[in-house]
Chains A and B, each alone.
Chain A
Amino acid sequence: MANTSPGLIGRKIGMTQIFGDNGEAVAVTVIEAGPNTVISVKSSDSAAGYDAVQLGFADKKESRTTKPEAGHFAKAGVSPKKYVQEFRLESGKTGDFAPGQSIAAGDLFEAGGFADVTAVSKGRGFAGVMKKYNFRGFIRSHGTHEYFRHGGSIGTRLTPGHVLKGKKMPGHMGAAQVTVQNLRIVKVDAENNLVFLKGGVPGPNGGIIRLRKAQKKG
């Protein structure tokens, strides 16, 4: 089942440290979450055939907007947005949203709750098995020759005579969509639309993320 928790498009600002109630230091990631604007609402009775809300984040110049896009934004009566994404909804929940409506971080998130973050992770390029799969490599001494970071044997001999499917080998790593679940919301700054999450989130600073209420935790 797809995640149907309400969410927002946000931007990862970076990490810092704040102090918890008991004086413990908490590493937090700061997310600029919204304000998002509802651009359109899709419901299962309409042509779309499913329930979702389309949100926009961050204004963009008219000159950067194509005419078809401009028409779409004009229909909702909102200024053109740089980032447009859809969030699936539980059926029957579409009534909560109307085009043009603005949603802020404070409307959805509160300190003490949990959130899921989906984003594209940092690209690592063509990575070896040690970085990619945490293989151990080989010992540095006892005559190891040009084999320090290799993955070792990739299979057996005549039986089965081929390399097993799914064998972990070097290759492209990162730059893939990653979801981190159940990050504790340490603090919400409703005035500046900032959400402070405990721990790290995927992607670079300034990257666009999807922040939603945790699917598995209240």
Chain B
Amino acid sequence: MDIATIEKNLELPDRGRDMKPGDKVRVHVKITEGEKTRIQVFEGTVIKIQQGGPRTTFTVRKVSYNVGVERIFPLFSPSIDHIEIKSRHEVRRAKLYYLRDRRGKSARLKEIRGAL
């Protein structure tokens, strides 16, 4: 028995398999306030998927009121309710850090229609 086998056998939610960098996603996050739990949605572009088995994380970037906001989610975190992939975009690299330096028109990605 080695650690890779154990990680493979962990019961993780089946999600994010078809997510790719450049996708526009809506991440439904569970937020607990005292007793109540509600769902908050974070919508943006996936600029990075950091592979790591059960430790996999992904980074979602959006521009909110002219301020770039990035949020890193552990892919298998129980606080994620589900991830909705809205659209797929044409990108030529796995990490889209260059989007951080772009504003307005040049920050657009070309949508691949009918990809989903």
Contacts of A17 in B (CB 8 A): 54-55
Chain A residues with Cβ below 8 Å from B68 are none
In the complex, the chain A residue whose C-beta lies closest to that of B53 is A16
From B1, B7, B10, B77, give the contact of A32 (CB < 8 A): B1
Residues of A within 8 A of B10 (CB): 16, 18
Q: Given A13-B6, A23-B30, are A18 and B54 also a contact pair (CB < 8 Å)?
A: yes
Q: CB within 8 A of A30: which of B6, B55, B76?
A: B6
The answer to whether A158 has its CB under 8 Å from any CB of chain B is no
Per-residue interface assignment for chain A, residues 6 to 30, with 1 indicating a CB less than 8 Å from any chain B CB and 0 otherwise:
0000000111111100110100001
Q: Is the CB of B78 within 8 A of A23?
A: yes
* CB of B97, distance to nearest CB on chain A (Å): 24
Instruction: Specify which of B1, B32, B74, B78 is in contact with A192 (CB 8 Å cutoff).
Output: B1
CB pair A14 B2 closer than 8 Å: yes
Interface digits, B32-65 against A, CB 8 Å rule (1 contact, 0 not)? 1000000000000000000001110000000000
Contacts of A16 in B (CB 8 A): 3, 6-7, 10, 53-55
Decide: A194 and B77 in contact? CB cutoff 8 A: no
Residues in B whose Cβ lies below 8 Å from that of A19 = 74, 76-78
Residue contact A23 to B79, C-beta cutoff 8 Å: yes
Is A215 located at the chain interface by the 8 A CB criterion?
A: no
Of all chain B residues, the one with the shortest Cβ separation from A193 is: B1
Name the CB-closest residue of B to A11. Answer: B1
A205 proximal to B (CB < 8 A):
yes
Residue of B nearest to A205 (CB): B3
B-facing mask of A80-91, CB < 8 A → 1, else 0?
A: 000000000000
| 22 residue pairs from A and B, CB less than 8 Å apart | A13-B1, A13-B2, A14-B2, A14-B3, A15-B3, A16-B3, A16-B6, A16-B10, A16-B54, A16-B55, A17-B54, A17-B55, A18-B10, A18-B54, A19-B76, A22-B32, A23-B30, A23-B78, A30-B3, A192-B1, A194-B1, A194-B6
